[in-house]
Structure 1
């Protein structure tokens, strides 16, 4: 999986992790939070999924990366929301496999889901929030899920 930084371009997983570690080491006394969220956009022939990985230096800015995956067009909303959740959790697992959380064990993490009380996705809230919390992570929904509904959404266009 390739990641992209908006100014630096394409990054491998290892390169992204190294840059995140550098970002944290620039101000080790600051408080940090990692946020991961995925959004999708279906066009005529394809669905584009974008997963954002954001590291917030609380009160002092953030850095972020994103990964983009293309699929044949998927029209079923439930399937798309499940796939979005799956991609966010997959990125967490990739980071864990590379030992990222061993380095940054004190960084709280949230999974941002592109579901909310308004619209059709409200029917899926309990299912996807339950999935994320059952594997041990904090889930946020709209309007608090900015990683999915703002950052990732921007790169699906």
Structure 2
């Protein structure tokens, strides 16, 4: 799986992890947070999913990477939201499998969901947030879910 850094371009998973470790080691006194979120955009023939991975240096900026997936058009909102959530959780599992959290277990992580109290997605809040918290992660919804609703959304267009 390849990720994209806005300035460095395509990065392998290994390169991305090395970039993140270097970023964290630049300021070891800072506090960090890992945020993962996925958004999607359905066009006539396809749905594009974008998963964003943000490493936030609390109060001092952030770096981010993203990856894209293309699917046949998905018109069902519930299925699309479930797929977004699955991609975010898969990204976490991939990072774990590649030893991402071995270098710093103390970095908290959030999964940002592109759902909120407004609109059709409000009906999905309980079940999707329940899914994320059941597997052990903190879930954030709009307006706090900037990884999905701002960063990932930007690259679905």
Shorter-chain-normalised TM-score: which range?
over 0.9
What is the number of equivalent residue pairs in this alignment?
A: 157
Confirm whether residue 45 of structure 1 aligns to residue 7 of structure 2: no
- Separation in structure 2 between the aligned mates of residue 2 and residue 77 of structure 1, nearest angstrom: 27
Gapped regions of structure 2 (runs ≥ 5): none
Q: Describe the superposition over 1:78-101 as per-residue Cα deviations: whole angstroms up to 9, x where unpaired.
A: 000000000000000000001111
1:118 corresponds to: 118
2:104 corresponds to: 104
- Separation in structure 2 between the aligned mates of residue 28 and residue 96 of structure 1, nearest angstrom: 21
Q: Structure 1 residue 139: deviation in Å?
A: 0.1
Q: Give the alignment of 1:1-157 within 5 angstroms.
A: 1-157=1-157
User: Considering only aligned residues, what root-mean-square deviation do their CA atoms show, in Å?
Assistant: 0.4
SS of corresponding position for 1:4: strand
Q: Describe the superposition over 1:47-70 as per-residue Cα deviations: whole angstroms up to 9, x where unpaired.
A: 000000000000100000000000
Q: Structure 1 residue 102: deviation in Å?
A: 1.4
Moved over 6 A (4+): none
